[in-house]
Amino acid sequence: MSPVRSICIVGGGTAGWLTAGIIAARHGRGLQITLVESETIGIVGVGEGTWPTMRSTLKKMGVSETEFFRQCNTSFKQGAKFSRWTTGEANDFYYHPLVLPEGFPSLDLAPYWTKYSAEHENAQSFSSSVCYQEAVCEMGLAPKLITSPEYAGIANYAYHLDAGRFASFIREHCVKNLGVRHIVDDVTRVGRTEGGDIAYVETSRSGRLSGDLFIDCSGFRALLLGQTLGVPFVNRGDVLFVDRALAVQVPYEDEDSNIVPHTQSVAQKNGWIWDIGLQNRRGVGYVFSSRHTDTDAALDELRAYVGAGHEDLQPREIRINPGHRETFWKGNCVAVGLSGGFLEPLEASALVLIELSAEMISALMPATRETMDIVARRFNETTRYRWDRIIDFLKLHYILSRRTDSAFWIDNRDPVGIPQSLREQMELWRYRAPGDQDFMSNSEMFPAASYQYVLFGMGFRMDASLAALDRDPGSAQRAFAQNEALKVKWTRVLPRNRDLINKIKEHGLQKI
């Protein structure tokens, strides 16, 4: 038997250090974890949006939420606001909040809202009718109080963060508190065993670094899984057209400018702009399709969005090859992060995939090399399923748009580019709202509620006459009333987003 006692992670950044931290926090000193990263190869550094899962990830790693806010320019994220995605008009927007609809999943308010909104022209939006978080976000409020303990909140929340600072912050925690061995060096060669496994990586100054399991966090290069082991890349550009990004950092007008407590996704002629508020700046980027426009035209749209006074900003161009590896774990090597694949950052799936992949590796850590292939097969099946569901969910945003101002939006509605799995779901949802029965895996990336927020937020209409209603006809009315009461309560109590962040930095949050 060949016991697994050492792990070598190639590549740092958010993927490498989160993976190291998640595994080290679970296995303690039982595994020797070495991370080697180059000081000459930079990180992409634009993954600034997270999911609520990051709260439990950092908590398990023993990270102080207070220090996280102090050192990573962190701010609160309570969902995403999608503007101009449906019609392109100035007043066109909807929310995908992080709080579930009132009573969900035991009570489905979608058919009740559908019937009511069909009869009342001035009915509230779906998310506003079933969830108080839209009102909180529209008022620029935080999701918790200064008296709330670390990682606890009144409203569900995630984070916006400075990717560069975050990688450094997690690195220091892993090395000082979790016993991860850190080597700064360049990998010059990868050695393999007779059976095809990776035996070691050769470095410029540190010699050979061996391991029983190698984790490829080398970014787009995919040095181990792609270049060395030859795992093919599956391009998904036939479904998701976005393949370029122009990213800039925009300063606030003054230091007291409020911090928007949600991601802003603003549709443009040939793509969309993300706008993320951190403590000291905004991270803004335009992702677009090079098949439908060129960089110069995209830059003009980005500058028009940012506005006057920022003409000196120099955007960084990032090329996106939308897709993923055919498999993610081969032999004794598994890819995490960009080495496994990348898609447009529409629903902040990049960082959560790192978390979920690292957590699964950690939880199923093979005891021996002989059992590793079983774990690899399960990891590949689960991870491929997750990629397929992410692609379906992202495509959903495009096929519901009614914009006709460019070929980009028209082409996105072409049935040829819509996965069969999504087409089948849309056929079912003509007569009932998305529910847990539509998603039968415990590895779902997005809950049924997320599909409801996007569907009904973008004006999708189902035939509610055939939908199953609750046996108690008053349950829906009570749930709608409860949501309105929560709106009043929390919009009166919750502080302004920047005000709470300033208090956290000055006083700190209560330790759990």
Residue whose entry in the numeric block shows the structure tokens 């990213």: 247
- pLDDT, residue 464, reads 79
* Predicted pLDDT of residue 128: 98
Residue 458 phi, psi dihedral angles, 5° rounding: -95, 15
CB 91 within 8 A of CB 181: no
What Å distances lie between residue 163 and 74, 76, 147, 387, CA to CA?
A: 10, 15, 27, 22
Exposed/middle/buried for 296, CB within 10 Å: 0-12, 13-18, 19+? exposed
Using CA atoms, how far apart are residues 12 and 19, in angstroms rounded to an integer?
9
Q: CA-CA distance, 380 to 328, in Å (whole number)?
A: 6
Is the confidence at residue 466, as pLDDT, over 80?
no
Mean pLDDT is lowest, of 101-105, 226-230, 464-468, for 464-468
Q: Is the pLDDT score of 360 beyond 90? A: yes
Beta bridge partners of 496: 141
Q: Which of the four pLDDT bands, split at 50, 70 and 90, describes residue 156?
A: very high
- Give 345-355 pLDDT, tens digit per residue: 999 999 999 99
447 pLDDT exceeds 60? yes
SS3 category, 370: helix
pLDDT, position 470 = 63
For the chain, helix, strand, coil in percent to 5 are: 40, 20, 40
Any idea what DSSP says for residue 444?
-
Tokens of 358: 């690292």
> Where does the pLDDT of residue 310 fall: very low under 50, low under 70, confident under 90, or very high at 90 and above?
confident
Secondary structure (DSSP) of 145-157: -TTSBTT--SS--
Reported confidence tier of residue 184, pLDDT bands at 50, 70, 90: very high
- CB neighbour burial string for 13-30, b if at least 16 within 10 angstroms, e if fewer: bbbbbbbbbbbbbbeeee
Q: Which pLDDT does position 471 carry in this prediction?
A: 66
Contact 77, 183 (CB under 8 A): no
Cβ–Cβ under 8 Å, residues 484 and 134: no
Longest CA pairwise span in the chain (Å): 73
- pLDDT per residue over 28-43, tens digit each? 878 999 999 998 876 6
Nearest Cα residue to 109 out of 505, 506, 482, 493: 482
pLDDT of the residue at 301: 94
Q: Mean pLDDT, to the nearest integer, of 139-144?
A: 98
The DSSP bridge partners found for residue 317 are 246
Nearest Cα to Cα of residue 439 among 388, 399, 394, 476: 388
Lowest mean pLDDT among 49-63, 82-96, 215-229, 452-466: 452-466
β partners of residue 284: 248, 275
Nearest to 339 by CA among 7, 39, 8, 16: 16
For residue range 80-91, list pLDDT tens digits in order. 999 999 999 999
Spatial distance between the Cα atoms of 142 and 152, rounded to a whole number of angstroms: 12
**HEC readout, 101-150:** CCCCCCCCCHHHHHHHHHHCCCCCCHHHHHCCHHHHHHCCECCCCCCCEC
- The residue ranges of every structural domain in the chain are 244-319
Please state, rounded to an integer, the average pLDDT across all residues of the chain: 94
Dist. CA 391–CA 309, nearest whole Å: 37
Query: What confidence tier does 512 reach under pLDDT thresholds 50, 70, 90?
Result: low
Please name the residue that has the structure tokens 């990270």.
Answer: 63
The 181-184 sheet, strands edge to edge: 181-184, 32-37, 6-10, 213-216, 333-335, 329-330
What was the pLDDT predicted at 23? Answer: 98
Question: Model confidence over 166-182: pLDDT tens digits?
Answer: 999 999 999 999 999 99
> What is the model's pLDDT at position 45?
57
Residue 135's pLDDT band (boundaries 50, 70, 90)?
Answer: very high
Report d(CA 352, CA 141) in Å as an integer. 24
CA distances from 276 to 78, 261, 323, 378 (A): 12, 9, 24, 35
d(CA 339, CA 242): 19
**491-502, pLDDT tens digit by residue?**
999 999 999 999
Instruction: State mean pLDDT over 220-232.
Output: 97
Q: Is 319 helix (H, G, I), strand (E, B) or coil?
A: strand
pLDDT in the model for residue 286: 97
Token pair in block for residue 91:
């007043």
Residue 462: both structure tokens together? 């189902």
What's the distance, Cα to Cα, between the start and end of the chain in Å? 42
Nearest to 261, CA basis, from 139, 78, 100: 78
Q: What is the pLDDT of residues 370-400, one digit of tens each?
A: 999 999 999 999 999 999 999 999 999 999 9
pLDDT band at 457 (very low <50, low <70, confident <90, very high): very high
